[in-house]
Amino acid sequence: MALSPLSAKPKNFKPISTTSPKRLTPMAFNAGDSVEVCSKEEGFLGSYYEATVVAKITRNNQYVVQYKTLVEDDLSEPLREVVSSDEVRPPPPPPEWPPFRFFSGDRVDAFDNDGWWVGTVSGVNVDEGKYYVYFELFMVEIAYHPSKLRLHQDWNKGKWSASSGY
């Protein structure tokens, strides 16, 4: 298993930027819809987690979501959380298979540590068939198999578009 951005940071880690990722255009979701939740928490900035909408809290423009890969502290069940509508987006279109060819400088999402982390392709190891991804917030470079990568896309005004950064 690849070293994840979270496990690579020192205990006294502070991100080099505390600005939020681009705010996502809120849209209406219903119970049962698959979504991705963008984390605003320090140390998780720039990460997206797959979830299912459990309920909508209309008066506060929030959702109750249940994560597909995150669990409660006691590991007994999937984590449920109330999140703001601007943290929720639909899943992006599925990646091409066989895996898309990436180039140096491409903004990508790397699946690691139960979520999708935004980084930049910094190189390729042809012999191992892996791409190196640099995570700016963590100042770390990690190698990934192409099946763990997807092109990063922004959800803006109800449409997916090529990424222009965080």
Residues of the chain with pLDDT under 50: 1-25, 166
pLDDT of residue 97: 63
Question: What's the fold here for domain 29-89?
Answer: SH3 type barrels. (2.30.30)
Question: What's the fold here for domain 107-162?
Answer: SH3 type barrels. (2.30.30)
pLDDT of residue 13: 33
Nearest to 120 by CA among 100, 101, 142, 99: 142
pTM for the complete prediction?
0.77
pLDDT of residue 84: 94
Cα atoms in the 13 Å half-sphere on the side-chain side of 157: 1
User: Within the chain, which residue ranges are assigned CATH 2.30.30.30?
Assistant: 29-89
